[in-house]
Amino acid sequence: MNKTSKALVVLSGGQDSTTCLFWALREFGAANVEAVTFDYGQRHRIELDAARKVAELAGVRQTLLPIDTFAAIGGNALTDDSIAPEQGARDDGDSTIPNTFVPGRNLIFLSFAAAFAYGRGIEHVVTGVAQTDYSGYPDCRENTLKALELALRLGMDSRVTLHTPLMFMSKAETVQLAQEVGAMDAMAWSHTCYNGAVPPCGHCAACELRAKGFAEAGVADPLVVRCGGH
């Protein structure tokens, strides 16, 4: 990447966005990277603290933007307290959409991120979505992101580029990338658990997917280690 170009990373505070933040530091240079985090009324609000800590460790400017519409809409386990997140990882070939899917979330996040970037002369937006080892969310697919990128370019008459460095990686491969880009210290402060538990609950789909990735990579999860696990 051009080390004079600027990049904005959508930082949730989770494993994938933490990896992408450090990927962006490597690709664009520390002086050219900043982060944006969205407060959308999520059940696992502790991830906002995680994002702040990760940004601090990375040495990048972070902006928190509130979006309360998702909580008002409800109907999913991440913004509606009356719905419990589904337990366990998904089976291969399972095409049903889990109740942790927040309709429109990534589309809205990236639209806001692109608008935020536009006003600051930033042409690169980085997000941690992945098509290969994901939770069944249709807004994590490459075709969705390519279509959105085109719409953003047309709608804002801009040259914004959406970067998805994890798009075709397994969770194990993302762990390996995190090691390569120096994200492991910050990973100890990241948050993935849908139930907002620290130490992680270990039973929700997000926890199981994360644990599977670290296990397959043969690497101890720094978060689990920090919380006294092994």
Question: Cβ distance 101 to 77 under 8 Å?
Answer: no
Contacts 24+ apart (CB under 8 A), 89-98: 89/205, 89/208, 89/209, 89/212, 90/135, 90/136, 90/205, 94/136, 95/136, 96/136, 97/136, 97/137, 97/138, 98/135, 98/136, 98/205
Q: What secondary structure does DSSP assign to 1-58, as a single string?
A: --TTS-EEEE--SSHHHHHHHHHHHHHH-GGGEEEEEEE---S-THHHHHHHHHHHHH
Whether 20 has a binding-site annotation, put simply, is yes
Chain center to CA of 164: 10
Whether 201 has a binding-site annotation, put simply, is yes
Whether 140 has a binding-site annotation, put simply, is no
Tell me the two tokens of residue 190.
Answer: 């990241």
Whether 204 has a binding-site annotation, put simply, is yes
Question: Cβ distance 43 to 79 under 8 Å?
Answer: yes
Whether 227 has a binding-site annotation, put simply, is no
Which residues carry a binding-site annotation for Zn(2+)?
Answer: 193, 201, 204, 207
Residues making up the annotated binding site for ATP are 11-21
Annotated binding site: 11-21, 193, 201, 204, 207
